[in-house]
Structure 1
């Protein structure tokens, strides 16, 4: 049992650990702590050799995304919104006092920092998303002699989180946003427009005679038509516009900062471009009908949906392949 508490045993354990570990000095003056130990896992994850890191400060991992939003728990412990791990500069390059650095604070106060997420940069410049822990390393009298930083690569976890987030927000067939996400976004956008007194418009788009496409060509062809419509519409939209599959062959488009006239212009552009030629070499020709409405920022969001839906119904009743606009409420 005695062998397991010998220094060599501890060193072997750290060197065989899956998570990355580095140890720095307790230097509080510029240029800051010096890296005195790195384990093989850190070298494997960052692409640096131990020789390249020893004698450096943790600033070696700095990159343009290293200081994003420091988590609330770190702000509470450290007391400021500051650059994490990297010493001497905020993410935009502006210097700040060394005393503001969270690693410096660990050294000065002897209090550990619990887990937080950050972005390091590998030797080749590629980003490395990590979760970090930092603890002071004390000598026998209790004085802080250095700092132990451990981190783990979150790349696979974050990729899965992004995949799950996308699955929760997107329609599985077309890739357009789904109705649940649209409802949440609409509430936020409507509140923003009301505060800022900015226009917001809505388009409802329906593929004409879609049932006959399924009946004539089969449901697989119908699916391809739906996907082609989404691709075509998205090519006409700005980055702030939101396309949602509302249900079946019907889509909703939320247009922040767009007047009724601007929404009418977009609707007519979409109608004409879709009617002019098939959206794919193997796809049948289609047309669409659209209803247009502008939100009354002194009213409510559901009123605009009702008026856009009535305008869409009028477009269908008038022969389809048309744009109809709802009068202001």
Structure 2
């Protein structure tokens, strides 16, 4: 707009000084031509001022629109990050048992599925142990369900403290737990399970009054094993441990 107005004014000035153009048709004296040229330039100025104002207003609106867009993008990104964080928290909460802090049944079984696939691909050893609390019903009946919950919570803490972090532990039933020992043959895994069994017997306070012990059944993955077959083998070994007097460890046949 500025350039076009300047060009028109320059052309008018040159044409007037050269005695050509429409100014010559309106008057014959130089003074009248100069006066008419000044009037013309004044009109050009008056026209350019509102145009400049409109353009400035549009530039301001464009800048505001850009700022709003950037603000909206920033808010959208912030909302996206908050949603991702909330989803991660929900995912973590869904994966953990509220009482013991161990993995839920669904999540520990998912982890077992992945470990079985890895075992099949790389032929690395994998042992699964299922253990539960001996006579847990008697604990609830004698000391109450609150005491029973405290026992479960204590078992979860002991299991986390006693086992290396590379092992996974989950609660798969009321008083039943599953321990995954990747990279461990059943012979070496039995040492870890025995360590856990002995640690449970060191419970102190009210839990010690309950006389808590655990029985453990173990099995090592074989070619063609699935989650179902491994859990069944460990369950049978656990049943054998309970049938033999409880508070002991048995391996699958």
Same fold (TM over 0.5): yes
Say whether residues 1:168 and 2:83 are aligned partners. no
Out of 109, 113, 120, which is 1:187 matched to?
113
Out of 233, 246, 251, which is 1:320 matched to?
246
- Taking CA–CA contacts closer than 8 Å with sequence separation of 6 or more, which of the two structures ends up with the larger relative contact order? 2
SS in 2 for 1:216: helix
Say whether residues 1:250 and 2:172 are aligned partners. no
- Which residue of structure 2 lines up, in the alignment, with residue 7 of structure 1? 59
Alignment deviations for residues 235-292 of structure 1 (CA, whole Å, 9 cap, x no partner): 12233311111100000111111110121101111111111332xx343341111111
Out of 280, 283, 293, which is 2:207 matched to?
283
Change (3 A) 1:244 1:7: same
The separation in 1 between residues aligned to 2:57 and 2:97, in whole angstroms, is: 56
The separation in 2 between residues aligned to 1:249 and 1:222, in whole angstroms, is: 9
Determine which structure has the larger strand proportion and give its number.
1
Determine which structure has the larger helix proportion and give its number.
2
- Which residue of structure 2 lines up, in the alignment, with residue 227 of structure 1? 153
Query: RMSD value over aligned CA atoms?
Result: 2.5
Instruction: Could you tell me which runs of 5 or more consecutive residues in structure 1 were left unpaired when the two chains were aligned.
Output: 22-40, 42-130, 132-150
Figure out how many residues of one structure are paired with residues of the other and give that number: 197
The separation in 1 between residues aligned to 2:71 and 2:56, in whole angstroms, is: 19
The separation in 2 between residues aligned to 1:317 and 1:270, in whole angstroms, is: 20
The two structures have a TM-score, normalised by structure 2, of: 0.70
Contact kept? 1:199, 1:297, Cα under 8 Å = no
The separation in 2 between residues aligned to 1:318 and 1:208, in whole angstroms, is: 12
The separation in 2 between residues aligned to 1:211 and 1:252, in whole angstroms, is: 19
Instruction: Could you tell me which runs of 5 or more consecutive residues in structure 2 were left unpaired when the two chains were aligned.
Output: 1-53
The two structures have a TM-score, normalised by structure 1, of: 0.54
Alignment deviations for residues 183-223 of structure 1 (CA, whole Å, 9 cap, x no partner): 22222210111110001001111011111111122212211
Larger of the two Rg values belongs to structure:
2
